[in-house]
Structure 1
Amino acid sequence: MVAPRRAPDAPDAWGVAAQLYSLRSEGSQGIGDLGDLGALLRWAAPAGAGAVLLSPLHAPSPVLPQQDSPYYPSSRLWWNPLHLRVPGLPEDASGSLIDRNHVWRMKRSALQSWFISSAVGDSWGRWVEAQGEPLRLYSVWCALAERYGNNWREWPEEFRRPDSPAVTDFDREDFDVQFHSWCQWLVSRQLTGAKRSAPDVHLIGDLAVGFDASGADAWRYQDQLALDWRVGAPPDMFTPDGQDWGLPPFNPIALRSQRFQPFVETVRAALRGFAGLRIDHVMGLFRLWWVPPGASPRDGAYVQQPSDVLVGILRLEAHRAGAFLVGEDLGTVGEGVRDTLQASGILGTKVAWFEQDPPTRWPRQCLATLTTHDLPTVAAVWQGRDGDRAMADRLTSLTHAPAGSLAEDVALSMHHLLARSPALLRLATLEDLCASVERPNVPGTVVEHPNWCRRLPVRIEDLDRRPLVRASTQAFREARRD
């Protein structure tokens, strides 16, 4: 294929990494939504931030129970309507945990009433027509899932393939199909509205590794998938048993036979509405750890991917969208991967817990951060509530903080170091800015921790009332003046 040699350049900016679902502001409705995103952007711009990285906006199934993890979607092609701000619903910005099932019941009912009573006009129809087959099939899948259950492999036989005559007949003038298309149009409008709150702040999306084998994308791409296999990670020092992510991998041979159209559609969709895109587990473009049916991750093996084509598609679609690219290259990285990413203009990722050098000595072509959604916060490590001794020792060596120092002071010292990093993108997590001891996700746990369900301990409107937030943002603003 022919593609530009490098992706568009990333800006030189500091900013914040935010879990969208966790945001709280005036008017919140039980979960972080696009109204809260607008509030975050309106806070970020005058604070001097130039970038905001969001957790994935991918669509879950519309069927209860709702999936908590944004990294285990039904579809990576479409957005999560749970993040819509719905007029007329009561404010619910209290509470520390999110009940997605309750919120979706409430919003689903209100959205349907809104759809029935609204005069949507020509703009909706034109938008739906422009989205074409991908939106039609996604909306059909949602309507079928609400009737027959979440797993398309257990549906009536005539609906198990998206190209069946029964699916075509079902699509015609079906109310629920139109409703789900309308919800996607609403997300598009609200996302655009949120970005208008701060047009100079670069909004960065996040592309998950894969999707649920029972979901909309698997139904659509079933002929290109190894449906009974799962993607994961090999054993390492952090996870001696390896990892099973429960995601079906694309068959590289079948993908090539389709001229990589599923991957093109996925990347194009992930870039829609964003100035930049983070690719989770970017090493998966080079090789993926496949776990056999009925086996453990220890029994898996690497399957090589057509990385030259996949990375080329990323560069090409990034240019078409005018967006920069960031690769999450943490963990076991194959030989030559980082060289290829650097040559392609795709930023790598540096995390304080994994680096021997301080942030002030990290490379320029990277996204620099102190932690991630899967790792402990600075406050939790300093207080001995999360992480290990090596992490605590690292904080001491970097900040020279004496024992007994306040977690807020240690976090501020770390933000000073991050602010002075030469990295192009320097992102503080909202959890670290709030000195939270709770991280969004603890890998390998299901019921032990409320993963992906924690709300930020402070409303966006109250961020600047916190001394740590004010001092940290000042450190970031002043660092580039030196």
Structure 2
Amino acid sequence: MGLEKLLYLQGVGAEYIDCHGHHVQIAPSDRTGILASMLAKANVNKANVNTEPLNLVDPTSSLALTDPTITASTISDKTFSLDVAPWLSLLPSFQFCYLTHPVILIYLPEQAAEIAFSLTLEEGAVTPSGQTEFEWLCHTQNLAIIGEYHHNNIRYCRYQVNLIDYISETLPLGYHQVFAQNLSHNSAVSELESASGTLMIAPKTCYQGVMMDNSLSPVKPTNGKEIAEHSQFGNAKLWGISIQLYSLKSSNDPLDGIGDFKALKQLIEFSAQQGADFVMLNPLHALDIANAEHCSPYSPSDRRRLNPLYINIDELLDSNASRIEYSELDVNLNHIKLINYKRVFEYKYKVFVKSYELFCLEQQANSTERYKVFNAFKAQQGHALSTFCQDQMKHAPEWLSMPADFYAYLQFVAVEQLTDCQQYCLSLGMKIGLIGDLAIGAILQGNEVQSQIEQFCIHASIGAPADRFSPSGQNWGLTPLDPIKLKQHNYCHFIDLMRSNMQFYGALRIDHVMGLLRLWWWPLSKTLGNGAYVYYPLDTLLAIVCLESQRAKCMVIGEDLGIVPPEISAAMQQSQLLSNQLFYFSQHHDGFIAPQQHKLHSLMMLANHDVAPLKGWWQGEDLHIRDRLALYPQPQQYQDELRLREKERYQLLQWIDSGLTTLLKTDLTIPSELNELAGQIATLFASNTDNALSMLKLDDLSFDLLLDAWLMVAATSQSGLFCVQLSDLLADKHCINIPGTWKSFPNWQRRLSKSIDHVKQDKQVSQRCQLIAAARHQAACLKKDC
């Protein structure tokens, strides 16, 4: 039981339910391999941690299943530290409670003892009467025992201190400091005489904003004081447009090589004019400066920093000054199809260098107000920004020889411009504004992992077990946070991640939200087996998400696509994280789920970056690409997928037919063309009573009209939020990303065929937006019975 107990304490799973509903036992050797990965130490030169960028750690050196990492002594020591030691400290270093039931937990041997407490509120936090500190005494005989542990013939008890018995005021949310001292002076347990730690007081739910049902009564905690926490959605049926920001074109200028914050502002203006309440973005995290071609926004170098390539250079320099000589490349950066990241990087960083030099000459030299704001930004960001900048300087190309302050300047400008974009959304009347995206992990060689290496497991990477689409499983090449080390460091990095991302947005989508409960780990060393699930402290992480969400006034969406354990679904509902539905996956045995049966507390997306756009799906473009790239293990699988897609196309027509029939019964005005389409579909069904239509007959239908109907019916979704890709409004068929490929397909490189100016002038796009807006309004009215 020694090894098995340690596996449990470290969170290494033993079993799971796979995508087919089968119960899978994880092989003991795979579990032990993950344990070896967790226990292996990183060779970090601690002398350099605070002064220089870290040297990259080799995570695969000399690790094997026979490695002495897992010895009897190690098992004993680790088990003691994780299982016994927490009971031998008066206070945990980090604990949380909810605002509605504020408590402190202490650990003591069973005894009659008097405990002195002091509680110091987080800096800037005060109670309604202005207090920031509290002191009180309590006796263990007046405390409830809510847990026990026997060690060395001593019964250790977990006591619960109800704060409302000692503090009459409502305590504020936040990270507060607690100090406890045992006044009984029991020499037998001297190590328990005093301790200090962090008490996080959290709300039970995430920020709901405009989605909140204001008709509900406030929740009343046990002390009778009202707290504004609501638990249900209101009648809002909001919609928005999603975009891969790099793909946007603000103009046809030859040097407009990548979508940036200028293009985003133009899209914001267009979206607001169409009645949209949000613009949803891909992750904007900083990428690997040493490898510009590594362009996946889901493989960041540091999720706390922004990618400078999104900076609008027209705001840095006047239009004439920004046109630096670029004849040596002799290339049109504004490629009609694909982004040349290397050349875009070179061009934009040359502009950045010129801009920084002007900044130093004009702002720094004269100590202007803007320069003071820049210094305040650096001071506020502190050591974390300094480490990032040193890392950028160390790994930048040789031709880019700039000081660390240059990279701080780029972050300063990027933060400024993105913040301005969100404010622009709100000024135009959008109810949410920007929805950001937080990637599930970061690359090993990036600054985030290397600067916080003691909180990551650098000997493993995260991904997913085998499923229908990936028979061998998926390895995303991202380094996992270690749940044990995360706890030992009082969750500081996770808190920083939430805070640094939520500051920019009206809502934040958390990619692969199941990672709050468990992540599939692959050992980097091939000798350590085939991976296993590793579990995380879900309740604590969710409490942090809720607190940071309320503080930033940022709604939270959990991307819960794939294998979703029931614990996650229940926790998301309780914490009011919105679910993330994807139209293609919203099916039952008879076909696609009716819009009125979609999850209320959710974001419904018609398509996203990992699946084909609507036209590409209809034409089977994604299947053809996978076949050309030999991604099907067996040729028969391709034929099976084609037959399945044909069946799904038929089911889509049934779904559209049913949806149009429902809409025709309302007072919503349906364009005559869609009435005609409904008639065509009815005729097709009448002439094919065997529930099958040939591909040719389906292709006789006008896809443009089919797309209009698809968008309109989908927009009647019961979901609180509804999202459509700009590429789908343009009826683009090209895939953004083909999972499982890298160099064989131009993932994350394709640009939209039309600039924002052309989008604004495209009457068909505007008409589709009008259909969506009308359908969303109708859905809201149906809910309110108006």
Is it true that 1:20 corresponds to 2:245 in the alignment?
yes
Cα deviation 1:156-197 (Å, max 9, x = unaligned) = xxxxxxxxxxxxxxxxxx952100000001101211333343
Question: How many Å apart are 1:296 and its aligned residue?
Answer: 9.8
Task: Return the structure number with greater strand share.
Answer: 2
Question: How many Å apart are 1:409 and its aligned residue?
Answer: 2.0
Is it true that 1:283 corresponds to 2:482 in the alignment?
no
Q: What is the TM-score normalised by the length of structure 2? A: 0.56
Is it true that 1:5 corresponds to 2:246 in the alignment?
no
1:340 matched residue in structure 2: 571
Q: In structure 2, how many angstroms separate the alpha carbons of the residues matched to 1:191 and 1:89?
A: 23
Match of 2:497, SS?
Answer: helix
Question: How many Å apart are 1:408 and its aligned residue?
Answer: 2.1
Q: In structure 2, how many angstroms separate the alpha carbons of the residues matched to 1:5 and 1:218?
A: 30
CA spacing shift, 1:408–1:467, aligned 2, 3 Å: farther
Q: In structure 2, how many angstroms separate the alpha carbons of the residues matched to 1:316 and 1:413?
A: 41
2:654 matched residue in structure 1: 397
Is it true that 1:350 corresponds to 2:581 in the alignment?
yes
Select the residue among 689, 705, 719 that pairs with 1:409. Answer: 705
Q: In structure 2, how many angstroms separate the alpha carbons of the residues matched to 1:53 and 1:296?
A: 42
2:473 matched residue in structure 1: 242
1:164 matched residue in structure 2: none
Q: Is the 8 A contact 1:359 1:418 kept in 2?
A: yes
1:112 matched residue in structure 2: 353
1:144 matched residue in structure 2: 394
Q: In structure 1, how many angstroms separate the alpha carbons of the residues matched to 2:418 and 2:342?
A: 23
Select the residue among 226, 243, 250 that pairs with 2:457. Answer: 226
Select the residue among 108, 113, 132 that pairs with 2:382. Answer: 132
1:383 matched residue in structure 2: 619
Question: How many Å apart are 1:285 and its aligned residue?
Answer: 0.6
Q: In structure 2, how many angstroms separate the alpha carbons of the residues matched to 1:438 and 1:297?
A: 39
Q: Structure 2: which amino acid aligns with 1:463?
A: V
Q: In structure 1, how many angstroms separate the alpha carbons of the residues matched to 2:355 and 2:337?
A: 29
Match of 1:197, SS?
Answer: helix
Q: In structure 1, how many angstroms separate the alpha carbons of the residues matched to 2:529 and 2:614?
A: 32
Q: Structure 2: which amino acid aligns with 1:182?
A: Y
Q: Structure 1: which amino acid aligns with 2:349?
A: R
CA spacing shift, 1:74–1:460, aligned 2, 3 Å: same
Cα deviation 1:209-228 (Å, max 9, x = unaligned) = 00010000011111111102
Q: Structure 2: which amino acid aligns with 1:216?
A: N
Q: Structure 2: which amino acid aligns with 1:316?
A: L
2:273 matched residue in structure 1: 46
Deviates more, 1:221-230 or 1:351-360: 351-360
CA spacing shift, 1:42–1:345, aligned 2, 3 Å: same
Is it true that 1:254 corresponds to 2:550 in the alignment?
no
Aligned length: 458
Match of 1:299, SS?
Answer: coil
Q: How does 1:57-96 map to 2 (within 5 A)?
A: 57-87=284-314, 88-89=322-323, 93-96=334-337
Q: In structure 1, how many angstroms separate the alpha carbons of the residues matched to 2:423 and 2:541?
A: 32
2:597 matched residue in structure 1: 361
2:735 matched residue in structure 1: 439
Q: In structure 1, how many angstroms separate the alpha carbons of the residues matched to 2:480 and 2:517?
A: 13
Question: How many Å apart are 1:364 and its aligned residue?
Answer: 1.0
Question: How many Å apart are 1:229 and its aligned residue?
Answer: 0.5
Q: Is the 8 A contact 1:233 1:289 kept in 2?
A: yes
Match of 1:104, SS?
Answer: helix
Deviates more, 1:464-473 or 1:221-230: 464-473
1:166 matched residue in structure 2: none
Question: How many Å apart are 1:336 and its aligned residue?
Answer: 1.7
1:180 matched residue in structure 2: 407
Q: In structure 2, how many angstroms separate the alpha carbons of the residues matched to 1:313 and 1:188?
A: 23
CA spacing shift, 1:469–1:438, aligned 2, 3 Å: same
Q: Is the 8 A contact 2:239 2:776 kept in 1?
A: no
Question: How many Å apart are 1:298 and its aligned residue?
Answer: 8.3
Q: Is the 8 A contact 1:232 1:297 kept in 2?
A: no
Is it true that 1:373 corresponds to 2:609 in the alignment?
yes
Deviates more, 1:73-82 or 1:417-426: 417-426
Q: How does 1:140-219 map to 2 (within 5 A)?
A: 140-146=390-396, 176-199=403-426, 200-201=429-430, 202-219=433-450
Match of 1:53, SS?
Answer: strand
RMSD, matched Cα: 2.1
Q: Structure 1: which amino acid aligns with 2:203?
A: P
Q: In structure 1, how many angstroms separate the alpha carbons of the residues matched to 2:741 and 2:304?
A: 27
CA spacing shift, 1:188–1:465, aligned 2, 3 Å: same
Q: In structure 1, how many angstroms separate the alpha carbons of the residues matched to 2:209 and 2:298?
A: 24
Q: Structure 1: which amino acid aligns with 2:342?
A: N
Q: Is the 8 A contact 2:209 2:553 kept in 1?
A: no
Deviates more, 1:430-439 or 1:408-417: 408-417
1:160 matched residue in structure 2: none
Q: In structure 1, how many angstroms separate the alpha carbons of the residues matched to 2:351 and 2:203?
A: 46
Structure 2's unaligned 5+ residue stretches are 1-95, 97-200, 211-235, 315-321, 325-331, 364-370, 588-592, 624-640, 658-680, 685-697, 779-786
Match of 1:386, SS?
Answer: helix
Select the residue among 700, 717, 723 that pairs with 1:421. Answer: 717
Question: How many Å apart are 1:131 and its aligned residue?
Answer: 1.4
Structure 1's unaligned 5+ residue stretches are 150-173
1:97 matched residue in structure 2: 338
